[in-house]
Every structure is written in structure tokens, then in C-alpha cells.
């Protein structure tokens, strides 16, 4: 079958494409990406010449372009990774998040209605649920947990989720949604916590940690996420939401200290900076549903996954150094350069 993967030049999207092309060699993958700052075409270099792969530079908000692509490719499945995803950027400039994450989603679903598809899958986030208190480790996000967003980013993703379910209910569009915890692994853009700390530590630069670094996240190796989405596409129930989590909660400060130890760097590099606005305290997902219905469980232990991730960044310095030396560096100075140390 033909699968359109939007946002496929980004972190999770590219890893999903690699997984699908390896796991399902009979399928055709069409990657759609507008190549904004976080989309990196060099990431897809290993598969660009494969006969069952096509790259199309296209903004999902471009209705005419999206419709033309559907006419050309006649896809059976759409997997929508395309999204502005960095919380800090959404606080700084919410509008682009509303445009890409909500309007772009509606354009894709209108194309699905017009041309017909077997499945539309929306890749969402656990951030739509808000956060959990640090003193209640017994609480987890379930699929029926009420949406309670904290940032323009999570609000835009929640809005897209509601829109997807509305298209299912109103038009009968065959949809599924997945909401995942924090991912880590190869090809992650170096504004996110783990690659940022690896890059800075290797350069002996300060490691900026928001507040005291006590915020807790549930970490999942990106390939495990890709396997879960693949299962949902092929065996999941239309109209359902599936939570994908690693049952691996860690404080941000502990992640940073772990990276320092692996790279043999002093913890004195850690610099506590003014916390971000509306910073959620704890995310924790209960993945019981996807385990019971589809048999999925995370396979990569964090101690193994973080070693593989650090080694990948050591082995692929050119990939991320080209990013750090470019536009991202200006953004980095804007976000962290004027924050007060604590």
C-alpha cells in the first residue's frame, strides 16, 4: 500500500519511515515535509534513492498542493507527524502552531474525505492531558483522562485531536490517534533536552536546566514508538485513541546528570535558569490499552536506549553540528541567553 507520512523529515517521522521501509518492503512511502527549521532533508539521505520512497516538499496547509499529491499517489494511509512541537517556541509565537497543527490537520482530512483512504492516523502527545502532581506517583494518564492543556503547543495538538474525532463522527472518516510520552533517540533536533545536553556537554558549554530540574517525564525510545504506530495502523480499531508510554519516569535533572556521567563531564556545567511559563510538572502514561488490544510493550530499557542515543550523537557529529551552527544558534541565544541563572 501507499502511505503518506507528513513531517517525515523530522525526528519521529524519519525514524518511522526507516522502520516502515525495513519492516514492510512491499509498501510505498511518500514523505511530505515543508522543511522548516526542524525538518532536515539530510536525515532522509539513506533512503532517498529507494524505488519505494518519494520525498515531496510541501506544506500541509497548502490545500491545492495536498489535493494534487493525493490525486497523484492515491494513498491508502496517512500518518500525520507534521507539527510545530517545541513548547518554548509556541509560547514565543503561538500563531504558527495554530496554523500548522490545526489548519494543516483539517486540510489533510479534507483531502482524505475527497479522495478516500483506509486510515488517517494522527500522531498526538501526552501533553494534551496537562500534568500530574509530583506527590501522586499513583496517577497516570489514561485514554479517557480529560484534556487539560497548558501551552499553545499542547492546545493546538488537543484541538487537532478533537477535529480528527469530529471528522470521524460527522463524516465517518476512518481515524486513529496515538498520544505518546517523551521520545529520545537518533535524529532528534538539538533544541530538545537530551540532544541539547549531549551537544553542549561535548563542547563543555553550560547545560541549561529550567528551575530545579524536578519536572518528571516518561521517556520512550523512538523505535518503540514507531513499532506502536505501525501496530495501530495495521491492527488498531478505527475511532480509538491509544496511549503510548514507556513506564520510565525520570526527573530532568537526573537525565542531565546521567549524560554528564556517560560523557565524563563535570556536573558543574549544569546551570539552573529561570523556569518556562506554565511548565508542566509530571507526565506519566498508562499504556495498558495498547498492550491488551495490540500486544505492544516498550522493548528498549532506558539504560540501553540512552547509551545508544549518546553513541549515535558521537558518531554523527556532522549531522547535528550543521544544525547547531545555523539558525538554531540564534534561537538558542534568544531562549537561554537572557535567562537569569538561579
Residue numbers annotated as active site: 126-127, 153
Say what angle helices 302-315 and 317-324 make with each other, to 10 degrees. 80
CA 68 to each of CA 6, 63, 112, 167, 184: distance values in angstroms, whole numbers, following the listed order: 15, 9, 12, 21, 34
Distance CA 320, CA 198 (A): 11
Distance CA 117, CA 174 (A): 8
Distance CA 83, CA 127 (A): 14
Number of H helices and E strands in the chain, helices first, is 13, 12
Contact 174, 120 (CB under 8 A): yes
The alpha-carbon radius of gyration of the chain (Å, integer) is: 19
Is residue 273 classed as helix, strand or coil in its secondary structure? Answer: strand
Contact 286, 212 (CB under 8 A): no
Half-sphere exposure of 225 (CA within 13 A, CB side): 30
Task: Determine if residue 339 is left, alpha or beta; phi over 0 gives left, psi from -120 to 50 gives alpha, anything else beta.
Answer: beta
Amino acid at each position: 500500500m501507499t502511505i503518506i507520512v507528513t513531517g517525515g523529515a523530522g525526528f519521529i517521522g524519519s525514524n518511522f519511515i526507516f522502520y516502515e521501509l525495513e519492516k514492510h518492503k512491499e509498501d510505498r512511502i511518500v514523505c511530505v515535509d515543508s522543511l522548516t527549521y526542524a525538518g532536515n532533508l539530510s536525515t532522509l539521505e539513506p533512503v532517498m534513492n529507494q524505488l519505494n520512497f518519494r520525498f515531496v516538499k510541501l506544506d500541509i496547509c497548502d490545500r491545492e498542493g495536498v489535493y494534487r499529491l493525493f490525486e497523484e499517489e492515491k494513498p491508502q494511509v496517512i500518518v500525520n507527524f507534521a507539527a510545530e512541537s517545541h513548547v518554548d517556541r509556541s509560547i514565543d509565537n503561538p500563531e504558527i502552531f495554530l496554523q500548522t497543527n490545526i489548519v494543516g490537520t483539517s486540510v489533510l482530512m479534507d483531502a482524505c474525505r475527497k479522495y478516500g483512504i483506509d486510515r488517517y492516523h494522527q500522531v498526538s502527545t501526552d501533553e494534551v492531558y496537562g500534568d500530574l502532581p509530583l506527590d501522586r506517583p499513583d496517577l497516570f494518564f489514561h485514554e479517557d483522562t480529560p484534556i487539560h492543556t497548558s501551552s499553545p503547543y499542547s492546545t493546538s495538538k488537543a484541538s487537532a485531536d478533537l477535529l480528527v474525532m469530529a471528522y470521524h463522527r460527522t463524516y465517518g472518516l476512518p481515524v486513529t490517534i496515538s498520544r505518546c510520552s517523551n521520545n529520545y533517540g537518533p535524529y532528534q533536533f538539538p533544541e530538545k533536552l537530551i540532544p541539547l545536553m549531549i551537544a553542549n556537554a561535548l563542547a563543555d558549554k553550560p547545560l541549561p536546566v529550567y528551575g530545579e530540574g524536578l519536572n518528571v517525564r516518561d521517556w520512550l525510545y523512538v523505535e518503540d514508538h514507531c513499532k506502536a504506530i505501525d501496530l495501530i495502523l495495521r491492527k488498531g480499531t478505527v475511532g480509538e485513541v491509544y496511549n503510548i508510554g514507556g513506564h520510565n519516569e525520570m526527573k530532568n535533572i537526573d537525565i542531565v546528570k546521567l549524560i554528564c556521567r556517560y560523557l565524563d563531564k563535570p556536573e558543574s556545567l549544569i546551570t539552573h535558569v529561570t523556569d518556562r511559563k506554565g511548565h508542566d510538572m509530571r507526565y506519566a502514561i498508562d499504556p495498558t490499552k495498547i498492550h491488551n488490544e495490540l500486544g505492544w510493550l516498550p522493548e528498549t530499557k532506558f539504560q540501553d536506549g540512552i547509551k545508544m542515543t549518546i553513541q549515535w550523537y558521537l558518531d554523527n557529529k556532522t549531522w547535528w553540528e550543521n544544525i547547531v551552527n545555523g539558525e538554531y544558534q540564534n534561537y538558542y541565544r534568544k531562549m537561554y541567553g537572557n535567562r537569569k541563572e538561579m
